């Protein structure tokens, strides 16, 4: 009994660490565009993002239920050692990509880690292939959708404000960027923090501490707080990549990218679908840049990001599998 309590405690600590790293890894998603166009001071932007990430994380638990219930067939197929291994693989990947300043998906990392740990421990029969398919489709389709809608939003703004002088337009949209960045921060919290809630709730369910997959209030508060604290630290390496290396943003294009991203992400939250906020924001910026002209986007940087996106799930699955072997040696 004491060993089970220790293992569940380890899962929760690792889940909160993952959420914390997710916060500073993905700070760029919410504030990169507004910081790069100097619409808001960086320290003010981070404080705003931290507060609204917390508020968004408390919004609902639909995505948490998808993560906790749709990757594995049932809680009986998962034990605490599997979750420890999955989280370890995801944490290592997030730290590595943050260090290399590569915008990668914490969502992909977590899903890949769980898949790898379950495969090496229980086998493919422990996986809910239909549920995984639904999650993967959402993860893949959302940035493609964001590119298309980002281009449309930017073209509409060009149509409505094309007759105004660039300085007038940018002055007005620089102020509006604060609102779009705020909505982006809220939507980010509403989707990303729930993934950690799902893992923590799955651990409590498999350990017999709760009877049904319903996210306890204290789990919501812990996950929201961890993400907000991580956000408050800031992820300056990735902010530079998203904010300036994909496409040279102006206030009107930064507003368009944030508005489009927040709509796509919050729609996914309402549909209980986990999406990568990193991928959606990057896709929005690519779409906004394409609306200006195709060669305005630095497609070489975009290709490097896409490569990281493609590699994340298989790499974290391998890390989760290796981590499970290490966990067995330690706890087995």
Supply the pLDDT for residue 151.
Answer: 93
**pLDDT digits (tens), the chain, 332 positions:** 556 678 888 889 999 998 888 877 766 666 777 777 777 787 787 788 888 888 888 887 888 888 877 888 877 777 888 899 999 999 998 888 777 776 677 778 888 999 999 999 888 888 888 988 888 888 888 888 999 999 999 999 988 887 888 778 888 888 888 888 889 889 988 888 888 888 888 888 877 888 888 888 899 999 889 888 887 776 555 555 555 556 677 888 889 988 999 999 999 999 988 888 878 888 888 888 888 877 767 766 667 667 777 788 889 999 999 999 998 888 76
Contact 31, 53 (CB under 8 A): no
Listed in sequence order, the residues at least 6 apart from 176 whose beta carbon sits closer than 8 Å to its beta carbon are 251, 255
The domains of the chain are located at 2-325
Q: Strand (E) positions, 178-272?
A: none
Give pLDDT tens digits for 152-208: 999 999 888 878 887 788 888 888 888 888 898 899 888 888 888 888 888 888 778
As to burial, measured by CB atoms within 10 angstroms (0-12 exposed, 13-18 middle, 19+ buried), residue 211 is exposed
| Helix, strand or coil, per DSSP, at residue 276 | coil
Neighbouring-strand partners of residue 72: 127
Burial (Cβ within 10 Å: 0-12, 13-18, ≥19) of residue 311 = middle
Q: 231 near 50, Cβ under 8 Å?
A: yes
Whole-number pLDDT of residue 115: 92
Backbone angles phi, psi at 124, to 5 degrees: -65, -25
Cβ–Cβ < 8 Å for 20, 224? no
Residues 51-86: tens digit of each pLDDT:
888 888 888 788 888 887 788 887 777 788 889 999
Strand partners, 127: 72
Residue-level pLDDT at 207: 79
């Amino acid at each position: 009994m004491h060993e089970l309590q220790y293992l569940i405690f380890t899962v929760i600590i690792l889940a909160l660490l993952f959420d914390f790293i997710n916060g500073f890894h993905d700070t760029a998603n919410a504030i990169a565009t507004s910081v790069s166009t100097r619409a808001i001071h960086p320290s003010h932007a981070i404080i705003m993002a931290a507060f609204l990430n917390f508020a968004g994380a408390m919004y609902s638990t639909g995505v948490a239920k998808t993560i906790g219930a749709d990757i594995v067939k049932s809680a009986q197929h998962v034990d605490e050692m599997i979750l420890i291994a999955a989280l370890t693989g995801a944490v290592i990947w997030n730290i590595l990509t943050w260090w290399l300043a590569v915008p990668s998906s914490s969502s992909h990392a977590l899903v890949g880690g769980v898949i790898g740990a379950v495969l090496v421990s229980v086998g493919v029969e422990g996986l809910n292939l239909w549920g995984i398919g639904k999650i993967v489709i959402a993860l893949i389709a959302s940035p493609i959708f964001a590119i298309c809608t980002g281009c449309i939003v930017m073209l509409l703004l060009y149509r409505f404000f094309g007759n105004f002088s660039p300085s007038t337009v940018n002055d007005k949209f620089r102020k509006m960027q604060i609102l779009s960045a705020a909505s982006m921060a809220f939507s980010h919290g509403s989707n990303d923090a729930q993934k950690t809630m799902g893992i923590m709730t799955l651990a409590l369910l498999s350990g017999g501490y709760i009877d049904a997959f319903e996210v306890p209030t204290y789990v919501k508060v812990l996950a929201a707080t961890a993400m907000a604290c991580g956000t408050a630290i800031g992820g300056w390496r990735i902010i530079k990549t998203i904010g300036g290396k994909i496409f040279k943003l102006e206030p009107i294009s930064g507003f368009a990218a944030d508005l489009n991203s927040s709509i796509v992400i919050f729609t996914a939250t309402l549909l209980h679908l986990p999406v990568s906020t990193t991928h959606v924001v990057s896709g929005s910026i690519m779409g906004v840049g394409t609306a200006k002209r195709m060669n305005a986007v630095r497609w070489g940087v975009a290709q490097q990001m896409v490569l990281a996106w493609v590699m994340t799930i298989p790499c974290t699955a391998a890390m989760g599998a290796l981590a499970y072997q290490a966990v067995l040696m330690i706890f087995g």
